[in-house]
Each structure stands twice: as structure tokens, then as C-alpha cells.
Amino acid sequence: MKSIFLKKILPFTLLILAICIIGPGCSEHDPNQYWYQDLDGDTFGNVDVSLYQELQPTGYVSNYTDCNDNDDTVYITAPEIADNGIDDNCDDIYAVTLYRDNDADGFGHVTDSQVFQLMEGDAFPDGFVNNNADCNDNDPMINPLAYEIAGNEADENCNGILDYEILYMDEDGDGYGSQKEDPAQGVPNNLDCDDTNSKIHPYAIDAPNNGIDEDCDGTIDEMF
């Protein structure tokens, strides 16, 4: 009996099993597939909304690579647009314009700029900052935080006024003043939009998703 099993029954069983695994005979082919909603019509689908059926339904595509299915300008092969705060091509990288800071005073050249590809949290490349507020990028003593020196015919604080200075109260000590004048202990600018918080001032880095305009530019939750 053992001999019959080894010679006839076992080989036949293995043959049937092999056919089931590699051939079309054991189960009918399932023609269905997953289709993913393409709400914005950019031909890239939403991984979270899908259907499983044979024919492609209207408004659905066969891929799920869209990271924002409510914006037809955002998809995996879209061009990255600088300074819009959007990851246009779904790669977690943003195009950001930074300005060269030749004199290393924290303020950038008015026109000398370069677009960089950065991820959220990346440090800026050496020698570049996120503002172009310096009116003389070859002198570290000239920038929006500098004090005006009388009688030298230079605009040290880049406010467009030569050799005349009004000082403003700086309650939070961040170097940026409020609209209130303080001739005795003030700072030479009135640029601060919140003089009670030292992390809020012009040219600060705007933290995302906190509902606060850290850099005083009127836009909340910018990426950079």
C-alpha cells in the first residue's frame, strides 16, 4: 500500500497542487481591480478613497499617488513653485527663495537670491537668510537693527532717513520696537507686531500649524 501511495497517489496529488499554483485551472481569474478617486481631475488618485471593480468608474484612476486630491496643481510630477508654502510634487520638499548675507548680520541682500529645495525643519544653507532687508550687505553695522550715527551721512538702520533717529520701546527685548517711543532706552525701529513675545518679530521663522504670525508679514503658518 505504501508503495502504491509513493508511486501513484503522491505524484498525482503533487501534480494537481502544482497546476493550482501556477496554472489557470483551479480558480477563475478575478478581473476586478482597485480604482482610486481623482477628485481634482489631475489623473492622480487618492489612496483613501477607492473602489474595487472590473471597469474603471468615472472620476477614478488606477494610481493612488496624489497627496492633495483637492488641488489639481499638486501631483507627483508637478513643478515645484518657490515660496508658495506648498509641496507641489508630493515629495515633502519645498522650493524656498533665500537671500545671500555677505556680512553675516542676519539680514540679506536686496536682490542676490537663490532658490533652494528644503524639507520642513532643514537649516538654511550657510551664508543665506530668509529676508532681503539689508540696505548694505557689505557692512555688518548697517541693517534694520543698527543704531543711527549722527553726522556721517549714512542710513545705518535702513529706514530711509539719514542721521536722525527715533527710538521705540522694546518690551520683549528682541531688538524690534513697538509703535511707542522710548528716547532713553529704545531701539531704532518700530517693526514689531507683538512686543510682548520675543519670538514674534519681522524676519523670524514662521512655525507651521500654530495659528501665529511669527514673522509679522500678515500670513499665518508659513512653512519657511
pLDDT tens, position by position, 47-89: 999 999 999 999 999 999 999 999 999 999 999 999 999 999 9
Task: Give the residue among 79, 43, 77 at the shortest CA–CA distance from 62.
Answer: 43
Query: Do residues 66 and 38 make contact, with C-beta atoms less than 8 angstroms apart?
Result: yes
CA distance 204 to 214: 6
CA distance 97 to 131: 9
Our CA angle for 44, 96, 105, nearest 5°, is: 165
Q: Cell numbers 514674534 label which residue?
A: 200
Q: Rounded to 5 degrees, what are φ and ψ at 176?
A: -115, 130
Instruction: Report the pLDDT value the prediction gives residue 3, as an integer from 0 to 100.
Output: 44
Residues 101-153: pLDDT tens digits? 999 999 999 999 999 999 998 999 999 999 999 999 999 999 999 999 988 98
Provide the 3-class DSSP secondary structure of residue 6: helix
Most confident of 9-18, 77-86, 212-221: 77-86
Provide the 3-class DSSP secondary structure of residue 208: coil
Q: Where do the domains of the chain lie?
A: 30-75
CA distance 77 to 62: 16
Mean pLDDT, the chain, integer: 89
Our CA angle for 92, 96, 100, nearest 5°, is: 140
Instruction: Report the pLDDT value the prediction gives residue 104, as an integer from 0 to 100.
Output: 98
Query: Is 1's pLDDT higher than 60?
Result: no
By the 10 Å C-beta count (0-12 exposed, 13-18 middle, 19+ buried), 176 is classed as buried
Instruction: Report the pLDDT value the prediction gives residue 31, as an integer from 0 to 100.
Output: 82
Please enumerate in sequence order all residues whose Cβ is within 8 A of that of 139, keeping only pairs 6 or more positions apart, or say none.
103
Query: Do residues 40 and 65 make contact, with C-beta atoms less than 8 angstroms apart?
Result: no
Query: Is 8's pLDDT higher than 50?
Result: no
Entry pTM: 0.77
One-letter identity of residue 209: N
Average pLDDT, stretch 159-165?
89
DSSP secondary structure of 7-66: IIIHHHHHHHHHHHHHSSSSS-----EEEEE-TTSSS---TTSEEEESSPPTTEES----
